[in-house]
Amino acid sequence: MINKAVIKQARKAIESLYDSTCTVIEYRQEKDPVTKKTVSKEVPIYPDKACRLSYSSGKNANQTELANAVTQVIKVFIAPELDIKPGSKLVITSKGRTVEYKNSGKPAVYDTHQEIVLELFKGWA
């Protein structure tokens, strides 16, 4: 069993690398208090959380004779206690640029952080 102090130290080391901020947004049905109508709207769940983006690339499995397709995998590293649901919108500001992403699946959650594979946000499904 891993000592809690070791986990705390490892988490601190990982978080020292965070150089970006992330706002997690969910698309929810909410009742308007004035009109009493239920409307769909974007709701910020976790605003301005520290994070780090990671980029990697690999060859696509569907290669052709003419070209080898290369895919880019984008991951965000963020605090493990945040409950970020699949399909959530993540607005990440890194190095002066703000980009909207979509959480493409279930996060890999560890004691020290969680890793979420991202896609560019193209709209709510």
pLDDT tens, position by position, 47-60: 999 999 999 986 66
Find the helix or strand (DSSP H, E) in which 59 lies.
Answer: strand 38-59
Please tell me the CATH code under which domain 4-120 is placed: 2.40.10.270
Separation in Å, CA 117 to CA 4, 50, 63:
27, 17, 22
> Residue 117, Cα to own-chain centre: how many angstroms?
7
Question: Cα(110)–Cα(26) distance, rounded to whole angstroms?
Answer: 23
**What confidence score (pLDDT) does residue 59 get?**
64
Cβ atoms of 99 and 118 within 8 Å: the answer is no
Is 12's pLDDT higher than 90? yes
Segment 74-97 shows an average pLDDT of 95
Cβ atoms of 77 and 52 within 8 Å: the answer is yes
pLDDT tens, position by position, 14-25: 999 999 999 999
What are 120's strand-pairing partners?
Answer: 101
Is 13's pLDDT higher than 70? yes
Find the helix or strand (DSSP H, E) in which 51 lies.
Answer: strand 38-59
Is 111's pLDDT higher than 80? yes
Q: With bands split at pLDDT 50, 70 and 90, how would you rate the model's confidence at 104?
A: confident
pTM score, two decimals?
0.82
Contacts (Cβ under 8 Å, ≥6 apart) of 5? none
Domain extent listing, the chain:
4-120
Is 65's pLDDT higher than 90? no
What are 116's strand-pairing partners?
Answer: 76
Please identify which residue in the block is written with the tokens 């080898």: 68
